[in-house]
């Protein structure tokens, strides 16, 4: 059984249809990427997974369980943590407070402390900055914080919305290296990206989303060789 399975999801904003029946799945242990241009519906897909937007049709299953029974704040307890678009760091809260909120749904104090050590090991920068408020971090540091905060939920599935957005190439590389590390430590990842170059290097499989529809689904090798992907997302004529 896949860890996450999206079946024929249709989603609307008022009368505007943003998702036109998409289906995808993510297996335990994988890094799967969802690539698409601006306005393709990537963030909308993640809002559906977060239960912030109820699909008009179709369903989202996590470990076989239908997520539609849950409210948005209960999703993290089911093992899904989000790194939202634009990072979504709480700018007036300190780095520590942001991380504590990442573990808001947990009560296992000792293990939370362990996870704190673990994210500080992955992102040593955050340890140095722990009493600084989120809003004064650089873009790259905010990305680290947002990722670390999601990990504090000890999720089985980490969902990231364009983590490379607005970062310099070397920073993007380090973000993706940390993703590989996180994945190795046992967290399954769904990575939404416009930066297909990088996404196709770290992922094992990928989907291409175009105006609310999945138009392609393949291994990353297959996607890299695909003429349409090369032209639209990799800039190769």
Partner 1 sequence: MGFDLSSFIEQLLNGLTVGSFYALIALGYSMVYGVLTMINFAHGEIFMVGAYVGLYTINRLVDVGLYDSNRILAVGITFIAGTIGAAITGVTVERLAYRPLRRAARLAPLISAIGMSIFLQEFIRLLPKMGEAITGITIGSFTLFPESLQQGVVGFLEDFGGARVKTYPGVFGVGGFDIGDIHITYSRVIILIMSVLTMIGLYFLVRYSRFGKAMRAVAEDKDIASMMGIDIDQVISRTFLIGSALAGIAGVMVGMFYLQIRPTMGFVPGIKAFTAAVLGGIGNIPGAMLGGYALGLGEVIGVQFLPAVYKDIVSFSILVLILIFKPTGILGEALAEKKM
Ligand X SMILES: Nc1ncnc2c1ncn2[C@@H]1O[C@H](COP(=O)(O)OP(=O)(O)OP(=O)(O)O)[C@@H](O)[C@H]1O
39 binds ligand X (CB under 6 A): yes
CB contact at 8 A, 141 and 168? no
Contact by Cβ (8 Å): 76, 153: yes
Choice between 39 and 135, CB closer to ligand X = 39
- CB of 124: closest distance to Mg ion in angstroms? 29
Determine the Cα–Cα distance for residues 146 and 86; give it in Å rounded to an integer: 9
CA dist list (Å): 187 to 30, 80, 95, 127, 201: 8, 10, 22, 22, 18
CB 207, min distance to ligand X, A: 12
CB 126 within 8 A of CB 138: no
Shortest reach from residue 231's CB to partner 1, in Å: 35
Counting contacts by CB under 6 A, is residue 41 touching ligand X? yes
CA distance 204 to 186: 15
> Using the rule CB under 8 A, is 9 a contact of partner 1?
no
Where does this chain touch ligand X (CB under 6 A) — which range of 32-40, 103-111, 134-142, 143-151? Answer: 32-40
Residues numbered 191 to 220 that lie near Mg ion (CB under 5 A) are none
Q: How is the beta sheet containing 65-66 ordered, strand by strand? A: 16-26, 4-13, 57-62, 65-66
Binding window for partner 1 (CB under 8 A); candidates: 6-14, 84-92, 122-130, 205-213: 84-92
- Residue 65 Cβ vs ligand X, minimum distance, rounded to whole Å: 24
Q: Which stretch binds partner 1 (CB under 8 A): 9-17, 75-83, 194-202, 211-219?
A: 75-83
Q: Does 93 bind partner 1 (CB under 8 A)?
A: yes
Residue 97 contact, options Mg ion, ligand X, partner 1, none, Cβ 5-8 Å cut-off depending on partner type: partner 1
What DSSP string runs through 167-221?
--HHHHHHHHHHHHHHHHTT-EEEEEES-HHHHHHH-SEEEEEETTEEEEEEEHH
**Cα dist from 12 to 22, 47, 56, 109, 124, whole Å:** 13, 11, 7, 40, 41
Q: Scanning the structure block, which residue is given the tokens 């299953």?
A: 61
Least Å from the CB of residue 31 to partner 1: 20
What residues between 142 and 161 interact with partner 1 by CB under 8 A?
Answer: 149, 153
Please report, as residue ranges, which positions from 130 to 169 form the binding site for ligand X (by CB under 6 A): none
97 binds partner 1 (CB under 8 A): yes
Q: State the residues that interact with Mg ion by CB under 5 A.
A: 42-43, 85
Residues that bind partner 1 (CB under 8 A): 50, 52, 71-77, 81-82, 84, 88, 90-93, 97, 100-102, 104-105, 149, 153
């Amino acid at each position: 059984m896949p860890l996450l399975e999206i079946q024929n999801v249709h989603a609307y904003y008022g009368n505007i249809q943003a998702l036109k029946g998409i289906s995808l799945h993510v297996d335990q242990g994988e890094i799967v990427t969802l690539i698409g241009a601006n306005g393709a519906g990537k963030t909308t897909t993640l809002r559906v997974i977060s239960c912030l937007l109820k699909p008009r049709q179709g369903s989202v299953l996590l470990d076989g369980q239908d997520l539609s029974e849950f409210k948005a704040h209960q999703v993290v307890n089911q093992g899904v943590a989000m790194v939202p678009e634009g990072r979504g760091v709480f700018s007036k809260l300190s780095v520590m407070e942001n991380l504590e909120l990442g573990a808001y749904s947990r009560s296992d104090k000792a293990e939370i402390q362990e996870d704190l050590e673990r994210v500080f090991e992955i992102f040593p920068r955050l340890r140095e900055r722990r009493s600084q408020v989120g809003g004064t971090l650089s873009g790259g540091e905010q990305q680290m914080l947002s990722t670390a905060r999601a990990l504090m939920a000890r999720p089985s599935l980490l969902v990231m919305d364009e983590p490379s957005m607005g970062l310099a190439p070397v920073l993007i590389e380090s973000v993706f290296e940390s993703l590989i590390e996180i994945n190795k430590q046992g967290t399954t990842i769904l990575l939404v990206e416009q930066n297909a170059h990088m996404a196709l290097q770290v992922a094992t499989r990928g989907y291409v989303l175009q105006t609310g529809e999945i138009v392609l689904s393949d291994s990353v090798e297959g996607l890299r060789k695909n003429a349409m992907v090369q032209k639209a997302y990799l800039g190769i004529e």
